[in-house]
A and B are shown apart, each in its own frame.
Chain A
Amino acid sequence: MRPSRPVGIVGYGAYIPMGRLRTSEICRVWGGEPPIEEKAVSAMDEDAVTIAVECARYALRRANIQPKELGAIYVGTESKPYAVKPCGTIVAEAIGASPQVAAADYEFACKAGTEAFQTCVALVSSGMVKYAMAIGADTAQGRPADPLEYTVACGGAAFIFGPRSEKTLAYLEGSYSYVTDTPDFWRRAHEIYPRHGGRFTGEPAYFKHIIEAARGLMAELGYGPNDFKYAVFHQPNVKFPIRVARMLGFGMDAIKPGLVVQHVGNTYAGSTPIGLAATLDQARCGDRILVVSYGSGAGSDAFSFVVEDRAEVPNRDPPVSLFISRKRYIDYATYIKHRGKILR
Protein backbone atom coordinates (compact mmCIF):
# COMPACT_ATOMS: atom_id res chain seq x y z
CA MET A 1 0.00 0.00 0.00
CA ARG A 2 1.34 3.39 -0.91
CA PRO A 3 -0.07 6.76 0.17
CA SER A 4 -1.47 8.86 -2.67
CA ARG A 5 0.53 11.83 -1.42
CA PRO A 6 3.68 11.73 0.72
CA VAL A 7 3.09 11.12 4.44
CA GLY A 8 5.49 10.98 7.34
CA ILE A 9 5.92 10.82 11.09
CA VAL A 10 6.01 14.36 12.52
CA GLY A 11 6.14 13.43 16.19
CA TYR A 12 6.39 10.43 18.48
CA GLY A 13 6.58 9.69 22.15
CA ALA A 14 6.88 6.60 24.30
CA TYR A 15 5.98 5.96 27.90
CA ILE A 16 6.96 3.04 30.12
CA PRO A 17 5.74 2.86 33.73
CA MET A 18 8.37 2.94 36.44
CA GLY A 19 7.59 -0.36 38.16
CA ARG A 20 9.79 -3.33 37.21
CA LEU A 21 9.37 -6.96 38.06
CA ARG A 22 12.41 -9.16 37.62
CA THR A 23 11.30 -12.37 35.96
CA SER A 24 13.51 -14.18 38.49
CA GLU A 25 10.84 -13.04 41.01
CA ILE A 26 8.19 -14.89 39.01
CA CYS A 27 10.47 -17.94 38.81
CA ARG A 28 10.93 -17.76 42.59
CA VAL A 29 7.18 -18.08 43.04
CA TRP A 30 6.17 -20.29 40.12
CA GLY A 31 9.40 -21.88 38.91
CA GLY A 32 10.60 -21.97 35.33
CA GLU A 33 13.37 -20.20 33.43
CA PRO A 34 13.37 -16.40 33.01
CA PRO A 35 12.69 -15.64 29.30
CA ILE A 36 13.62 -11.96 29.73
CA GLU A 37 15.41 -9.98 32.43
CA GLU A 38 12.56 -7.82 33.72
CA LYS A 39 9.21 -6.34 32.69
CA ALA A 40 7.50 -2.99 33.17
CA VAL A 41 4.52 -2.91 35.52
CA SER A 42 2.07 -0.04 35.79
CA ALA A 43 1.31 1.64 39.10
CA MET A 44 -2.12 1.14 40.64
CA ASP A 45 -3.29 4.47 39.25
CA GLU A 46 -2.13 3.76 35.69
CA ASP A 47 -3.99 2.01 32.89
CA ALA A 48 -3.96 1.93 29.08
CA VAL A 49 -5.62 5.37 28.99
CA THR A 50 -3.09 7.09 31.27
CA ILE A 51 -0.22 5.48 29.34
CA ALA A 52 -1.77 6.63 26.04
CA VAL A 53 -2.11 10.18 27.38
CA GLU A 54 1.54 10.29 28.47
CA CYS A 55 2.72 9.09 25.03
CA ALA A 56 0.36 11.49 23.25
CA ARG A 57 1.67 14.49 25.20
CA TYR A 58 5.28 13.63 24.35
CA ALA A 59 4.38 13.09 20.68
CA LEU A 60 2.62 16.46 20.50
CA ARG A 61 5.60 18.19 22.07
CA ARG A 62 8.03 16.57 19.65
CA ALA A 63 5.78 17.40 16.67
CA ASN A 64 5.47 20.97 17.92
CA ILE A 65 1.89 21.24 16.66
CA GLN A 66 -1.28 22.38 18.41
CA PRO A 67 -3.56 19.61 19.71
CA LYS A 68 -6.49 21.11 17.78
CA GLU A 69 -4.57 20.40 14.55
CA LEU A 70 -5.11 16.68 15.10
CA GLY A 71 -7.95 15.41 12.95
CA ALA A 72 -7.97 11.87 14.34
CA ILE A 73 -6.83 9.94 17.40
CA TYR A 74 -6.86 6.14 17.41
CA VAL A 75 -5.84 4.07 20.40
CA GLY A 76 -4.87 0.45 19.80
CA THR A 77 -5.13 -1.64 22.95
CA GLU A 78 -6.37 -4.94 24.32
CA SER A 79 -6.54 -3.58 27.88
CA LYS A 80 -9.33 -1.04 27.59
CA PRO A 81 -10.35 0.11 31.10
CA TYR A 82 -13.93 0.30 29.86
CA ALA A 83 -15.45 -2.48 27.75
CA VAL A 84 -17.72 0.19 26.28
CA LYS A 85 -16.49 3.81 26.24
CA PRO A 86 -13.58 4.72 24.02
CA CYS A 87 -10.10 5.45 25.30
CA GLY A 88 -9.71 7.79 22.33
CA THR A 89 -12.18 10.35 23.69
CA ILE A 90 -10.42 10.51 27.06
CA VAL A 91 -7.05 10.96 25.35
CA ALA A 92 -8.50 13.66 23.06
CA GLU A 93 -9.87 15.60 26.04
CA ALA A 94 -6.70 15.15 28.10
CA ILE A 95 -4.46 16.60 25.40
CA GLY A 96 -6.92 19.31 24.34
CA ALA A 97 -7.74 17.93 20.88
CA SER A 98 -11.50 17.59 21.26
CA PRO A 99 -14.20 18.14 20.13
CA GLN A 100 -13.54 18.44 16.38
CA VAL A 101 -11.61 15.21 16.00
CA ALA A 102 -12.29 11.61 14.96
CA ALA A 103 -11.51 9.12 17.72
CA ALA A 104 -11.91 5.40 18.28
CA ASP A 105 -10.12 2.39 19.69
CA TYR A 106 -8.61 -0.46 17.75
CA GLU A 107 -8.44 -4.04 18.94
CA PHE A 108 -6.11 -6.49 17.21
CA ALA A 109 -4.05 -8.03 20.03
CA CYS A 110 -0.45 -6.83 19.67
CA LYS A 111 -0.93 -5.16 16.27
CA ALA A 112 -3.73 -2.79 17.27
CA GLY A 113 -1.24 0.09 17.39
CA THR A 114 0.14 -0.40 13.89
CA GLU A 115 -3.38 -0.95 12.54
CA ALA A 116 -4.00 2.60 13.77
CA PHE A 117 -0.88 3.68 11.81
CA GLN A 118 -2.51 2.44 8.59
CA THR A 119 -5.69 4.45 9.20
CA CYS A 120 -3.80 7.61 10.13
CA VAL A 121 -1.63 7.34 7.02
CA ALA A 122 -4.75 6.95 4.87
CA LEU A 123 -6.54 9.93 6.43
CA VAL A 124 -3.52 12.19 6.00
CA SER A 125 -2.66 10.95 2.53
CA SER A 126 -6.23 11.51 1.32
CA GLY A 127 -6.16 15.04 2.67
CA MET A 128 -9.12 14.41 4.99
CA VAL A 129 -7.08 15.53 8.01
CA LYS A 130 -3.82 17.41 8.42
CA TYR A 131 -2.47 15.39 11.33
CA ALA A 132 -3.57 12.08 12.84
CA MET A 133 -2.29 10.29 15.93
CA ALA A 134 -1.97 6.53 16.36
CA ILE A 135 -1.26 5.12 19.81
CA GLY A 136 -0.43 1.58 20.87
CA ALA A 137 -0.74 1.18 24.65
CA ASP A 138 -1.39 -1.78 26.90
CA THR A 139 -1.37 -3.00 30.47
CA ALA A 140 -1.53 -6.62 29.41
CA GLN A 141 -2.44 -9.39 31.85
CA GLY A 142 -1.22 -12.98 32.10
CA ARG A 143 -2.73 -15.65 34.30
CA PRO A 144 -0.49 -16.40 37.32
CA ALA A 145 2.09 -19.08 36.41
CA ASP A 146 1.09 -19.02 32.73
CA PRO A 147 4.14 -18.65 30.42
CA LEU A 148 2.65 -15.29 29.38
CA GLU A 149 2.97 -13.94 32.91
CA TYR A 150 6.77 -13.93 32.58
CA THR A 151 6.69 -11.41 29.73
CA VAL A 152 3.42 -9.42 29.57
CA ALA A 153 4.11 -5.80 30.39
CA CYS A 154 2.81 -2.25 30.40
CA GLY A 155 3.76 0.63 28.12
CA GLY A 156 3.01 2.39 24.88
CA ALA A 157 4.03 4.80 22.17
CA ALA A 158 2.22 7.43 20.09
CA PHE A 159 2.98 8.53 16.54
CA ILE A 160 1.65 11.62 14.78
CA PHE A 161 1.40 11.38 11.01
CA GLY A 162 1.23 14.39 8.72
CA PRO A 163 1.92 15.39 5.13
CA ARG A 164 5.61 15.17 4.25
CA SER A 165 7.12 18.59 4.97
CA GLU A 166 9.99 20.24 6.82
CA LYS A 167 8.31 18.92 10.02
CA THR A 168 8.73 15.27 9.01
CA LEU A 169 11.01 13.08 11.12
CA ALA A 170 10.68 10.06 8.85
CA TYR A 171 8.59 9.59 5.72
CA LEU A 172 6.66 6.51 4.74
CA GLU A 173 7.60 4.67 1.55
CA GLY A 174 4.88 2.05 1.74
CA SER A 175 3.05 -0.41 3.93
CA TYR A 176 1.69 -3.93 3.69
CA SER A 177 -0.84 -5.85 5.77
CA TYR A 178 -1.17 -9.63 5.95
CA VAL A 179 -4.07 -11.16 7.88
CA THR A 180 -5.44 -14.69 8.35
CA ASP A 181 -7.93 -16.29 10.74
CA THR A 182 -5.48 -18.01 13.08
CA PRO A 183 -6.61 -18.98 16.61
CA ASP A 184 -3.21 -18.70 18.35
CA PHE A 185 -4.32 -16.47 21.22
CA TRP A 186 -7.64 -15.04 22.36
CA ARG A 187 -9.57 -13.66 25.28
CA ARG A 188 -13.32 -14.17 25.42
CA ALA A 189 -15.67 -11.40 26.57
CA HIS A 190 -15.77 -10.94 30.40
CA GLU A 191 -12.61 -13.04 30.84
CA ILE A 192 -9.68 -11.39 32.64
CA TYR A 193 -6.91 -13.57 31.26
CA PRO A 194 -6.27 -14.68 27.69
CA ARG A 195 -5.75 -18.21 26.47
CA HIS A 196 -3.30 -19.31 23.84
CA GLY A 197 -2.41 -22.24 21.66
CA GLY A 198 0.98 -22.90 23.28
CA ARG A 199 3.47 -23.98 20.59
CA PHE A 200 0.96 -22.86 17.99
CA THR A 201 1.94 -19.23 18.70
CA GLY A 202 5.24 -19.75 16.86
CA GLU A 203 5.55 -21.08 13.31
CA PRO A 204 2.04 -20.67 11.81
CA ALA A 205 1.37 -17.48 13.74
CA TYR A 206 4.24 -15.10 14.57
CA PHE A 207 6.79 -16.27 12.01
CA LYS A 208 4.48 -16.85 9.07
CA HIS A 209 2.70 -13.49 9.32
CA ILE A 210 5.78 -11.38 9.93
CA ILE A 211 7.73 -13.06 7.12
CA GLU A 212 4.86 -12.77 4.63
CA ALA A 213 4.26 -9.09 5.47
CA ALA A 214 7.98 -8.20 5.39
CA ARG A 215 8.60 -10.06 2.11
CA GLY A 216 5.41 -8.65 0.59
CA LEU A 217 6.43 -5.09 1.39
CA MET A 218 10.01 -5.57 0.22
CA ALA A 219 8.77 -7.07 -3.05
CA GLU A 220 6.40 -4.13 -3.61
CA LEU A 221 9.16 -1.61 -2.98
CA GLY A 222 11.87 -3.60 -4.78
CA TYR A 223 14.09 -3.78 -1.68
CA GLY A 224 16.06 -6.51 0.03
CA PRO A 225 17.23 -6.67 3.66
CA ASN A 226 20.47 -4.87 2.78
CA ASP A 227 18.52 -1.76 1.80
CA PHE A 228 17.47 -1.27 5.43
CA LYS A 229 19.71 0.13 8.15
CA TYR A 230 17.29 -0.96 10.90
CA ALA A 231 14.44 -3.37 11.41
CA VAL A 232 11.84 -3.56 14.17
CA PHE A 233 9.81 -6.72 14.71
CA HIS A 234 7.13 -7.40 17.29
CA GLN A 235 8.96 -8.58 20.40
CA PRO A 236 6.93 -10.94 22.61
CA ASN A 237 10.23 -12.35 23.94
CA VAL A 238 13.90 -12.12 22.99
CA LYS A 239 14.12 -15.25 20.84
CA PHE A 240 11.33 -14.60 18.33
CA PRO A 241 12.45 -11.22 16.90
CA ILE A 242 16.09 -12.36 16.67
CA ARG A 243 15.05 -15.54 14.87
CA VAL A 244 12.64 -13.83 12.48
CA ALA A 245 15.30 -11.23 11.68
CA ARG A 246 17.77 -13.97 10.81
CA MET A 247 15.17 -15.78 8.67
CA LEU A 248 14.57 -12.56 6.72
CA GLY A 249 18.28 -11.80 6.32
CA PHE A 250 18.73 -9.07 8.95
CA GLY A 251 21.67 -9.06 11.36
CA MET A 252 21.75 -8.15 15.05
CA ASP A 253 23.00 -4.61 14.25
CA ALA A 254 19.76 -3.90 12.41
CA ILE A 255 17.41 -4.92 15.21
CA LYS A 256 19.46 -3.99 18.27
CA PRO A 257 18.34 -0.33 18.73
CA GLY A 258 14.66 -1.32 18.77
CA LEU A 259 14.98 -4.53 20.77
CA VAL A 260 13.83 -3.46 24.24
CA VAL A 261 11.91 -6.55 25.37
CA GLN A 262 14.74 -7.78 27.62
CA HIS A 263 14.19 -4.83 30.01
CA VAL A 264 10.60 -3.81 29.24
CA GLY A 265 8.71 -7.01 28.45
CA ASN A 266 5.99 -7.50 25.85
CA THR A 267 3.92 -4.33 25.88
CA TYR A 268 1.47 -5.82 23.34
CA ALA A 269 0.05 -3.02 21.18
CA GLY A 270 2.90 -0.86 22.51
CA SER A 271 5.62 -3.35 21.58
CA THR A 272 6.35 -2.55 17.93
CA PRO A 273 5.65 1.22 18.35
CA ILE A 274 8.09 1.41 21.31
CA GLY A 275 10.66 -0.49 19.21
CA LEU A 276 10.21 2.03 16.40
CA ALA A 277 10.49 4.95 18.85
CA ALA A 278 13.73 3.53 20.29
CA THR A 279 15.10 3.07 16.76
CA LEU A 280 14.15 6.63 15.72
CA ASP A 281 15.92 7.90 18.86
CA GLN A 282 19.20 6.64 17.35
CA ALA A 283 18.59 6.87 13.60
CA ARG A 284 20.31 9.36 11.30
CA CYS A 285 19.08 11.14 8.21
CA GLY A 286 18.74 8.74 5.29
CA ASP A 287 18.44 5.57 7.36
CA ARG A 288 15.71 3.23 6.12
CA ILE A 289 13.71 1.35 8.78
CA LEU A 290 11.57 -1.76 8.29
CA VAL A 291 8.82 -2.11 10.89
CA VAL A 292 6.73 -5.29 11.16
CA SER A 293 4.19 -5.84 13.91
CA TYR A 294 2.40 -9.04 14.79
CA GLY A 295 -0.99 -9.43 16.41
CA SER A 296 -2.56 -12.72 17.35
CA GLY A 297 -5.72 -13.73 15.64
CA ALA A 298 -3.69 -13.03 13.40
CA GLY A 299 -1.87 -10.53 11.25
CA SER A 300 1.11 -8.30 10.58
CA ASP A 301 1.53 -4.73 9.33
CA ALA A 302 4.81 -3.85 7.63
CA PHE A 303 6.10 -0.31 7.00
CA SER A 304 9.16 1.20 5.39
CA PHE A 305 10.23 4.58 6.79
CA VAL A 306 13.13 6.78 5.73
CA VAL A 307 14.57 9.10 8.37
CA GLU A 308 14.78 12.83 7.58
CA ASP A 309 17.26 15.39 8.92
CA ARG A 310 14.79 16.85 11.44
CA ALA A 311 15.08 13.61 13.42
CA GLU A 312 18.67 14.60 14.27
CA VAL A 313 17.71 17.96 15.80
CA PRO A 314 18.41 17.76 19.56
CA ASN A 315 15.37 17.96 21.82
CA ARG A 316 14.52 17.67 25.49
CA ASP A 317 12.06 14.82 25.10
CA PRO A 318 12.86 11.67 27.03
CA PRO A 319 14.17 8.91 24.74
CA VAL A 320 13.01 5.33 25.25
CA SER A 321 16.37 4.57 26.90
CA LEU A 322 15.51 7.03 29.69
CA PHE A 323 12.26 5.22 30.43
CA ILE A 324 14.14 1.93 30.47
CA SER A 325 16.64 3.20 33.03
CA ARG A 326 13.96 4.99 35.10
CA LYS A 327 12.73 2.10 37.20
CA ARG A 328 11.78 0.90 40.63
CA TYR A 329 11.85 -2.80 41.41
CA ILE A 330 8.83 -4.37 43.04
CA ASP A 331 8.39 -7.88 44.38
CA TYR A 332 5.81 -10.42 43.25
CA ALA A 333 3.43 -9.54 46.09
CA THR A 334 3.43 -5.85 45.19
CA TYR A 335 3.06 -6.81 41.54
CA ILE A 336 -0.11 -8.81 42.10
CA LYS A 337 -1.48 -5.94 44.19
CA HIS A 338 -0.64 -3.41 41.44
CA ARG A 339 -2.17 -5.54 38.73
CA GLY A 340 -5.35 -6.26 40.67
CA LYS A 341 -4.70 -10.01 40.93
CA ILE A 342 -5.30 -9.73 44.66
CA LEU A 343 -7.86 -7.46 46.31
CA ARG A 344 -8.24 -6.20 49.84
Chain B
Amino acid sequence: MSVPRYWRESKYRYRLIGKRCMRCGALYYPRRAICTRCGSKELEEHQLSDRGRIVSWTVIRNPPKDYERFAPYVVALVELEDGIRILSQIVDVEPEEVKAGMMVEATFRKIREDGTSGIIEYGYKFRPPVESKQDSS
Protein backbone atom coordinates (compact mmCIF):
# COMPACT_ATOMS: atom_id res chain seq x y z
CA MET B 1 0.00 0.00 0.00
CA SER B 2 1.31 3.47 -0.84
CA VAL B 3 2.03 5.85 2.02
CA PRO B 4 -0.67 8.37 0.95
CA ARG B 5 -3.27 5.61 0.67
CA TYR B 6 -2.31 4.17 4.08
CA TRP B 7 -2.58 7.64 5.57
CA ARG B 8 -6.02 8.31 4.00
CA GLU B 9 -7.38 5.01 5.28
CA SER B 10 -5.65 4.73 8.63
CA LYS B 11 -8.44 5.96 10.86
CA TYR B 12 -10.94 3.56 9.23
CA ARG B 13 -8.52 0.65 9.67
CA TYR B 14 -7.41 1.64 13.18
CA ARG B 15 -10.89 2.11 14.58
CA LEU B 16 -13.19 0.05 12.36
CA ILE B 17 -15.06 3.03 11.02
CA GLY B 18 -17.41 2.18 8.17
CA LYS B 19 -20.26 3.95 6.41
CA ARG B 20 -23.95 3.87 7.16
CA CYS B 21 -26.61 4.74 4.59
CA MET B 22 -28.65 7.60 6.01
CA ARG B 23 -31.70 6.52 3.96
CA CYS B 24 -31.91 2.73 4.47
CA GLY B 25 -29.41 2.09 7.28
CA ALA B 26 -27.21 -0.34 5.34
CA LEU B 27 -23.66 -0.63 6.75
CA TYR B 28 -20.49 -0.82 4.69
CA TYR B 29 -16.91 -1.76 5.40
CA PRO B 30 -14.74 -0.85 3.65
CA ARG B 31 -16.62 2.39 3.18
CA ARG B 32 -18.34 3.29 -0.10
CA ALA B 33 -19.70 6.39 -1.74
CA ILE B 34 -23.04 4.93 -2.92
CA CYS B 35 -25.42 2.56 -1.13
CA THR B 36 -25.72 -0.61 -3.23
CA ARG B 37 -29.05 -1.44 -1.57
CA CYS B 38 -31.00 1.77 -2.22
CA GLY B 39 -28.71 3.85 -4.43
CA SER B 40 -28.47 6.74 -1.97
CA LYS B 41 -25.33 8.86 -2.00
CA GLU B 42 -25.91 10.04 1.54
CA LEU B 43 -23.71 7.87 3.73
CA GLU B 44 -22.26 8.89 7.08
CA GLU B 45 -19.25 7.60 8.98
CA HIS B 46 -20.27 4.91 11.41
CA GLN B 47 -18.36 3.28 14.27
CA LEU B 48 -18.78 -0.46 13.78
CA SER B 49 -19.09 -2.87 16.69
CA ASP B 50 -15.79 -4.25 17.94
CA ARG B 51 -17.24 -7.67 18.71
CA GLY B 52 -18.66 -10.40 16.55
CA ARG B 53 -18.70 -14.10 15.69
CA ILE B 54 -16.72 -16.12 13.17
CA VAL B 55 -18.92 -17.19 10.23
CA SER B 56 -16.27 -19.08 8.27
CA TRP B 57 -12.50 -19.14 8.04
CA THR B 58 -9.50 -20.41 6.19
CA VAL B 59 -5.88 -21.09 7.14
CA ILE B 60 -3.35 -19.28 4.99
CA ARG B 61 -0.27 -21.46 4.56
CA ASN B 62 1.14 -19.85 1.42
CA PRO B 63 0.81 -16.17 2.13
CA PRO B 64 1.37 -13.26 -0.22
CA LYS B 65 4.57 -11.22 -0.11
CA ASP B 66 5.25 -9.38 3.18
CA TYR B 67 2.99 -11.77 5.13
CA GLU B 68 5.28 -14.82 4.98
CA ARG B 69 6.48 -14.66 8.57
CA PHE B 70 2.93 -14.79 9.97
CA ALA B 71 2.11 -18.13 8.27
CA PRO B 72 0.22 -20.21 9.03
CA TYR B 73 -2.47 -17.70 9.99
CA VAL B 74 -6.24 -17.60 10.08
CA VAL B 75 -8.39 -15.28 7.98
CA ALA B 76 -12.08 -15.29 8.84
CA LEU B 77 -15.35 -13.78 7.83
CA VAL B 78 -16.59 -12.14 11.01
CA GLU B 79 -20.19 -11.06 11.55
CA LEU B 80 -20.09 -8.05 13.85
CA GLU B 81 -22.80 -7.46 16.43
CA ASP B 82 -24.32 -4.76 14.24
CA GLY B 83 -24.83 -7.30 11.45
CA ILE B 84 -22.11 -6.35 8.99
CA ARG B 85 -19.63 -9.01 7.84
CA ILE B 86 -15.95 -8.18 7.46
CA LEU B 87 -12.80 -10.12 6.63
CA SER B 88 -10.09 -10.18 9.26
CA GLN B 89 -7.05 -12.05 10.41
CA ILE B 90 -7.68 -13.90 13.69
CA VAL B 91 -4.85 -13.78 16.23
CA ASP B 92 -4.01 -15.20 19.67
CA VAL B 93 -5.43 -18.54 18.58
CA GLU B 94 -4.04 -21.67 16.91
CA PRO B 95 -5.65 -22.53 13.54
CA GLU B 96 -7.05 -25.80 14.95
CA GLU B 97 -8.84 -23.96 17.77
CA VAL B 98 -10.96 -21.80 15.45
CA LYS B 99 -14.66 -22.71 15.32
CA ALA B 100 -17.68 -21.32 13.50
CA GLY B 101 -19.75 -19.18 15.86
CA MET B 102 -16.71 -18.39 17.98
CA MET B 103 -16.89 -14.98 19.67
CA VAL B 104 -14.11 -12.54 18.76
CA GLU B 105 -13.22 -8.93 19.52
CA ALA B 106 -11.18 -6.32 17.66
CA THR B 107 -7.56 -5.75 18.57
CA PHE B 108 -4.90 -3.38 17.22
CA ARG B 109 -1.97 -5.00 15.44
CA LYS B 110 0.70 -4.52 12.83
CA ILE B 111 -0.68 -5.53 9.46
CA ARG B 112 2.37 -5.18 7.25
CA GLU B 113 5.80 -3.58 7.24
CA ASP B 114 7.39 -2.05 4.18
CA GLY B 115 10.80 -3.62 4.74
CA THR B 116 12.92 -2.31 7.60
CA SER B 117 13.00 1.32 6.44
CA GLY B 118 9.45 1.86 5.14
CA ILE B 119 6.17 2.58 6.85
CA ILE B 120 4.62 0.23 9.41
CA GLU B 121 0.94 -0.38 8.63
CA TYR B 122 -1.30 -0.85 11.64
CA GLY B 123 -4.93 -1.88 11.76
CA TYR B 124 -7.55 -4.17 13.25
CA LYS B 125 -7.40 -7.92 13.65
CA PHE B 126 -9.73 -10.04 15.77
CA ARG B 127 -8.98 -12.34 18.72
CA PRO B 128 -10.94 -14.38 21.27
CA PRO B 129 -12.31 -11.87 23.84
CA VAL B 130 -10.06 -11.05 26.77
CA GLU B 131 -12.48 -11.33 29.66
CA SER B 132 -13.02 -13.23 32.88
CA LYS B 133 -14.64 -16.65 32.35
CA GLN B 134 -17.78 -15.74 34.33
CA ASP B 135 -18.40 -12.73 32.05
CA SER B 136 -18.18 -14.58 28.75
CA SER B 137 -21.85 -15.51 28.56
Contact = CB atoms under 8 A, between A and B. Distances in A.
Given A50-B109, A81-B120, A90-B122, A44 B70 contact: yes
Contact of A50 (B10, B11, B122, B131): B122
A5 to B, nearest CB: 33
Contacts of A46: 109-110
Contacts, number: 58
Contact of A82 (B107, B108, B120): B120
A135 to B, nearest CB: 13
Number of chain A interface residues as a range: 20 to 34
Interface string B13-56: 01100000000000000000000000000000000000000000
Number of chain B interface residues as a range: 20 to 34
A217 B130 CA distance: 37
Nearest to A94: B14
Contacts of B135: 316
Interface string B63-89: 000001110000000000000000000
Contact of A344 (B15, B69, B109, B130): B69
B102 interface: no
**From DSSP, what is the main secondary structure of chain B's interface residues?**
mixed
A94 B120 contact: no
Contacts of B109: 43, 45-46, 50
A198 to B, nearest CB: 31
A94 B122 contact: yes
Interface stretch (A144-152, A172-180, A223-231, A318-326): A318-326
A96 interface: yes
Interface of B: 10-11, 14-15, 68-70, 91-92, 107-111, 120, 122, 125, 130-132, 135
Interface of A: 18, 43-47, 49-50, 53-54, 57, 81-82, 90, 93-96, 316, 318-319, 322-323, 326, 328, 337, 344
Which 9 pairs from chain A and chain B are nearest by CB? A53-B108, A45-B109, A94-B14, A45-B110, A318-B130, A18-B92, A50-B108, A50-B109, A81-B120
